């Protein structure tokens, strides 16, 4: 874990007090649909930690929620440092949705917020340990039902179930890997999370439970359709290996029988070792990899250097940690469809 990213607990505690004081004058309204400002009216005030959580809250909550994202578009989520006002806004929320292990500053602030309806998305599915290399041939998902699996036991405040995977201040960055939080890049796991979020919203706001259930079912259907598109689109390819600067696609690789070769680990800013670079040269030649992928919110310098040295192409594979004007799509579904197109091109889909 990059130490500079961590906000000391004592600093967060002090900021909570300052933030609550600021909120007595006015509330934050950083994000979509009026945020936590007065425009929310009688709507459920929802705070989401970053885009994948915001998308779920907005799609499932619909017209009944006013969603504020703590991470503004274009900000690398791992690097987020909260302002006192943002920390205070968490305590002012009716419902908080986050993913423990991605943003240590957010984890600390939420722990101290005292919000009753707090849901950790990591408890709504199963996390796995991933490093720079993930071989999808070694993992099977036979018997998993699409969009099912955890909704019955996890429609609550998100502090039970799979919590053992997310203890501490975050996942273990670097090439050795650790508990990988990038669950939203697997449509099946994301559907599991969506179902848990839907049930927790039904519990938090029972007056609109029927609408939350309806919206959840509609979103899960979209995610199941996306999953089928990936299954068929990546079934027959010339190679199964792709190289990426940010090892965020481990769950996706496992789901569709691919091999992710990360330049470094699951930390997007981790520097690769000379040995890893040399290893990737060998892998690219042996596995007939064609492309080095980079992401929209981090530097492409390493990807372009490796591509130049190996004679490979470069392209974007978006980890969907935020939507910006550079994103190849307006929302999660559209960007995931663009990612599928990029993978099909790089892997030589037939």
As a whole number of angstroms, the distance between CA 177 and CA 52 comes to 21
| Residue stretches of the chain with pLDDT short of 50 | 1-39, 140, 142-176
Q: Which residue has the tokens 């190679």?
A: 239
As a whole number of angstroms, the distance between CA 38 and CA 303 comes to 45
Q: Which two tokens stand for residue 167?
A: 């203890």
The reported pTM is 0.80
As a whole number of angstroms, the distance between CA 72 and CA 196 comes to 25
Secondary structure string (H, E, C) spanning 239-255: CCEEEECCCCCHHHHHH
Phi first, then psi, for residue 7 (nearest 5°) are -100, 120
Task: Convert 310-349 to b/e letters by CB count within 10 Å (16 or more is b).
Answer: bebebbbbbbbbbbeeebeeeebbebbbbbbebbeebbeb
- Nearest partner of 46 among 24, 62, 23, 22, judged by Cα: 62
As a whole number of angstroms, the distance between CA 65 and CA 216 comes to 14
Q: What is the pLDDT of residue 10?
A: 43
Q: What is the pLDDT of residue 37?
A: 35
Task: Convert 36-67 to b/e letters by CB count within 10 Å (16 or more is b).
Answer: bbeebeebbbbbbbbbbbbbbbbbbbbebbbb
Tell me the residue ranges of DSSP E strands in the chain. Answer: 44-48, 65-69, 95-98, 118-120, 128-130, 133-135, 178-180, 241-244, 259-262, 291-294, 313-316
Radius of gyration for the chain, computed over Cα atoms and rounded to the nearest angstrom: 20
Q: What is the pLDDT of residue 45?
A: 98
């Amino acid at each position: 874990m990059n130490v500079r990213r961590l906000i000391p607990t004592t600093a967060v505690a002090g900021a909570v007090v300052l933030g609550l004081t600021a909120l007595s004058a006015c509330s934050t309204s950083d994000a979509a649909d009026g945020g936590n400002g007065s425009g929310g009216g009688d709507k459920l005030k929802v705070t989401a930690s970053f885009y994948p959580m915001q998308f779920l809250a907005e799609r499932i909550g619909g017209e009944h929620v006013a969603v504020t994202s703590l991470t503004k578009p274009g900000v690398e989520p791992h690097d987020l440092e909260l302002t006192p006002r943002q920390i205070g806004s968490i305590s002012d929320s009716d419902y908080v949705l986050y993913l423990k292990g991605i943003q240590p500053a957010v984890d600390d602030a939420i722990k101290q917020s005292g919000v009753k309806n707090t849901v950790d998305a990591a408890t709504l599915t199963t996390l796995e340990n991933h490093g720079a290399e993930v071989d999808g041939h070694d993992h099977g998902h036979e018997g998993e039902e699409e969009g099912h699996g955890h909704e019955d036991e996890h429609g609550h405040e998100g502090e039970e179930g799979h919590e053992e995977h997310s203890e501490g201040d975050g996942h273990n960055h670097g090439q050795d890997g650790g508990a990988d939080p990038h669950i939203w890049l697997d449509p099946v796991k994301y559907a599991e999370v969506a179902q848990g979020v839907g049930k927790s919203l039904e519990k938090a706001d029972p007056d609109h439970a029927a609408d939350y259930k309806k919206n959840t079912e509609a979103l899960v259907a979209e995610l199941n359709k996306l999953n089928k598109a990936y299954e068929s689109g990546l079934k027959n390819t010339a190679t199964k290996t792709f190289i990426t600067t940010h090892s965020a696609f481990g769950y996706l690789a496992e789901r569709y029988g691919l091999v992710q070769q990360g330049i470094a680990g699951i930390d997007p800013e981790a520097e690769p070792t000379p040995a890893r670079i040399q290893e990737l040269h060998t892998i690219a030649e042996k596995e007939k990899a064609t492309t080095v992928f980079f992401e929209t919110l981090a530097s492409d310098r390493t990807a372009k250097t490796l591509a130049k040295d190996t004679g490979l192409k470069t392209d974007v594979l978006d980890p969907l940690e935020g939507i910006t004007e550079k994103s190849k799509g307006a929302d999660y579904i559209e960007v995931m469809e663009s990612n599928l197109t990029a993978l099909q091109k790089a892997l030589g889909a037939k």
